[in-house]
């Protein structure tokens, strides 16, 4: 006999209720990067738009930065930690494989016993997490979901690589997603292109260190074995990000039924100012749209970059609660995710 199972029942729609960010206390200017590479402040700024980034200290762990950002997002949503039903952490720079860092973060935040897990979706991690959260809220798996993008990319930076040494930063950005009577997170346009997996990648897999064949491990200028780092094919990434991602962004607008004229803010992944500038041109965004340019002082923080930029736009008054924003993340995988949201 097939018994009748009661269906899970969620909210009609979901929305972002609160946002919070954490930037490490140490600000690293380009001058410091130049100690290790033959380059110049002018070169770095013209290629990336980056002037400073934040690098985490020993106490600013992936978990600690997440707790700071997550706590702010929960407070911003007007909630208490016990109300959180699920915690989703997106990161590629937590170096303890198991257990998921999400469980530790949930515990440190003082949540009850929420579902808690990590996802790995590179610089698209925030959009992936947001999409999961929207699903959980509307299918009844959780009333309130905490989504955090967090990275310590300084740990995965090759200080001697002049093409990437200046790019990355550390930090955590969080949002709380909860029930809504109106649609406030549009359809997600997302996907992956695994045929381009080498375009942005970790230099050496961890397994090579276990095998210990020195000929397969990267060495620094003094001959010491180096930690793995993120490496990328700059021109290929730029072309894909600007031209292919502009199409994805446009599709997200179309699927949400929002015209560019109705848009208040554009919050792309903060990869590089040149990508942002060219994307705006390709998308033909109207002048009135506020564009997040947090990369200048935060660097590229992968999964953390969109919520960090969102928090800054709201905190500085460049955008306000209720504004309509297009968000798009894209990166290693290659993976991407774009959607239109109502800002908290």
Partner 1 sequence: MAATQEQILEGLAEIVNEIAGIPAEDVALDKSFTDDLDVDSLSMVEVVVAAEERFDVKIPDDDVKNLKTVGDAVDYILKHQG
**Dihedral sign from CA coordinates of 265, 266, 272, 275:** negative
Residue 117 sits in the site that holds partner 1 (CB under 8 A): no
According to CB under 8 A, which one of 278, 290, 297, 318 is a site residue for partner 1?
278
In three-state secondary structure terms, 171 is: strand
State the SS3 of 74-100.
HHHCCCCHHHCCEEEEECCCCCCCCCC
CA–CA separation, 70 and 294 (whole Å): 19
Residue 243 sits in the site that holds partner 1 (CB under 8 A): yes
In three-state secondary structure terms, 118 is: strand
Minimum Å gap between C-beta 272 and partner 1 is: 8
Closest CA to 111 of 159, 148, 63, 74: 74
Closest CA to 276 of 329, 317, 344, 320: 329
β-sheet bridge partners, residue 196: none
Residue 234 sits in the site that holds partner 1 (CB under 8 A): yes
According to CB under 8 A, which one of 52, 236, 250, 297 is a site residue for partner 1?
236
Minimum Å gap between C-beta 238 and partner 1 is: 5
Q: Which stretch binds partner 1 (CB under 8 A): 62-70, 117-125, 239-247, 289-297?
A: 239-247
**Dihedral sign from CA coordinates of 265, 268, 273, 275:** negative
Minimum Å gap between C-beta 44 and partner 1 is: 12
Residue 296 sits in the site that holds partner 1 (CB under 8 A): no
Closest CA to 70 of 52, 99, 90: 90
Instruction: Decide if 249 contacts 326 (C-beta within 8 A).
Output: yes
Residue 235 sits in the site that holds partner 1 (CB under 8 A): yes
Residue 274 sits in the site that holds partner 1 (CB under 8 A): yes
Minimum Å gap between C-beta 240 and partner 1 is: 9
CA–CA separation, 5 and 20 (whole Å): 39
Q: Which is nearer to partner 1, 236 or 297 (CB)?
A: 236
Minimum Å gap between C-beta 35 and partner 1 is: 23
Q: Which stretch binds partner 1 (CB under 8 A): 49-57, 141-149, 231-239, 331-339?
A: 231-239
Q: Which residues contact 58 (CB under 8 A, 6 or more apart)?
A: none
According to CB under 8 A, which one of 26, 36, 45, 47 is a site residue for partner 1?
47
Q: Which is nearer to partner 1, 206 or 243 (CB)?
A: 243
List the catalytic residues: 123, 269, 300
Q: Which is nearer to partner 1, 61 or 278 (CB)?
A: 278
Q: Which stretch binds partner 1 (CB under 8 A): 1-9, 77-85, 236-244, 255-263?
A: 236-244
Residues that bind partner 1 (CB under 8 A): 46-47, 233-236, 238-239, 242-243, 274, 278
């Amino acid at each position: 006999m097939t018994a009748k199972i009661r269906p899970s029942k969620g909210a009609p729609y979901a929305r972002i209720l609160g946002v919070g960010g954490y930037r490490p206390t140490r600000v690293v200017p380009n001058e410091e990067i130049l100690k290790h590479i033959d380059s110049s402040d002018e070169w770095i700024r013209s290629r990336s738009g980056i002037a400073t980034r934040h690098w985490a200290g020993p106490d600013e762990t992936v978990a600690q930065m997440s707790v700071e950002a997550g706590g702010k997002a929960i407070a911003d949503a007007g909630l208490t930690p016990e109300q959180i039903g699920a915690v989703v952490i997106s990161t590629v720079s937590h170096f303890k494989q198991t257990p998921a860092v999400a469980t530790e973060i949930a515990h440190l935040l003082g949540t009850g016993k929420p579902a808690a897990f990590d996802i790995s979706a590179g610089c698209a991690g925030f959009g992936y997490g947001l999409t999961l959260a929207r699903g959980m809220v509307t299918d009844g798996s959780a009333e309130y979901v905490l989504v955090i993008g967090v990275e310590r990319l300084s740990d995965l930076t090759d200080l001697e690589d002049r093409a990437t040494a200046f790019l990355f930063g550390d930090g955590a950005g969080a949002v709380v997603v909860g029930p809504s009577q109106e649609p406030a997170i549009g359809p997600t346009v997302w996907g992956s292109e695994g045929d381009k997996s080498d375009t942005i990648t970790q230099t050496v897999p961890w397994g090579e260190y276990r095998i210990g064949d020195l000929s397969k491990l990267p060495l620094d200028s003094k001959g010491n074995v180096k930690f793995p780092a993120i490496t990328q094919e700059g021109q290929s990434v730029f072309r894909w990000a600007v031209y292919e991602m502009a199409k994805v962004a446009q599709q997200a607008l179309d699927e949400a039924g929002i015209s560019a004229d109705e848009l208040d803010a554009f919050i792309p992944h903060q990869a590089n100012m040149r990508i942002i500038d060219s994307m705006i041109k390709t998308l033909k965004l109207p002048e009135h749209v506020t564009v997040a340019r947090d990369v200048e002082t935060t660097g590229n923080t992968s999964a953390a970059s969109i919520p960090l930029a969102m928090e800054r736009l709201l905190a500085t008054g460049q955008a306000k609660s209720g504004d309509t924003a297009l968000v798009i993340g894209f990166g290693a995988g290659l993976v991407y995710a774009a959607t239109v949201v109502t800002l908290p």
